[in-house]
């Protein structure tokens, strides 16, 4: 499935190496594609890219997320309540995939939205977060930083929150 997604990303070109039964690669939204790239181990991804000679765009560039920057933003703004992906205020709303899924927020878009506007007892960090009472009293985050954080949280959730080295 991931192989099919990757191949179908090459301008819908169906690669001759397509796995049997995957001739009509399921349409995958661009965002979802990004996730499948990220979740592939780099060597495997390199192999898949090498298998797609018509894919001239260096798919890994710009799609590899900035783990270090995400990790450092997370330590600054989120770790107080979400240490190691948990939730010290609301145990049923951790950043683990099972909770994100159950709460219907397992996409980068939803994570972005919650981080931006907040939810319940979680303050929003967006520069235009409204209403004020729902937003952090501390420093707001740039949209771009929230994007990096959303990617980071999604990736960590996909991988079961492995420890990130400094």
For 112, residues 6+ apart whose C-beta sits below 8 A from its C-beta are 146, 147, 150
- Distance between alpha carbon 134 and the CA centroid of its chain, in Å? 24
Q: Token digits for 91?
A: 């145990």
CB of 77 to ligand HEC, least distance (A): 4
Going residue by residue from 21 to 60, which x/- string records binding to ligand HEC, judged by CB under 6 A? ----------------------------------------
Sketch the per residue contact string, 137 through 156, with ligand HEC: x for CB under 6 A, - otherwise.
------------x---x---
Tokens 């420093």, located at residue = 139
Q: For the segment 75-94, give every residue that binds ligand HEC (CB under 6 A).
A: 77-78, 80-82, 87, 89-90, 93-94
Residues 107-126 that bind ligand HEC (CB under 6 A): 111, 114-115, 119-123, 125
b vs e for 121-156, b when ≥16 Cβ sit within 10 Å of the residue's Cβ? ebbbbbeebeeeeebeeeebbeeebbbbbbbbbbbb
Question: How far apart are CB 41 and ligand HEC at their closest, in Å?
Answer: 25
C-alpha span between 1 and 55 (Å, rounded) = 18
CB of 40 to ligand HEC, least distance (A): 23
Closest approach, Cβ 85 to ligand HEC, in A, equals 10
């Amino acid at each position: 499935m991931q192989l099919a997604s990757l191949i179908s990303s090459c301008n819908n070109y169906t690669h001759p190496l397509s796995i049997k039964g995957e001739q009509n690669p399921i349409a995958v939204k661009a965002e979802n594609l990004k996730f499948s790239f990220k979740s592939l181990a780099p060597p495997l991804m390199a192999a898949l890219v090498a298998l797609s000679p018509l894919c001239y765009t260096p798919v890994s560039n710009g799609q590899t997320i900035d783990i270090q920057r995400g990790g450092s933003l997370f330590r600054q703004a989120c770790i107080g309540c979400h240490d190691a992906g948990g939730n010290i205020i609301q145990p049923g709303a951790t950043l683990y995939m099972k909770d994100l899924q159950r709460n219907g927020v397992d996409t980068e878009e939803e994570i972005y939205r919650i981080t931006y506007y907040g939810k319940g007892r979680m303050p929003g960090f967006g520069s235009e977060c409204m209403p004020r009472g729902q937003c952090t009293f501390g420093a707001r985050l740039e949209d771009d930083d929230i994007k990096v954080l959303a990617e980071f949280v999604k990736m960590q959730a996909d991988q079961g929150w492995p420890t990130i080295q400094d």
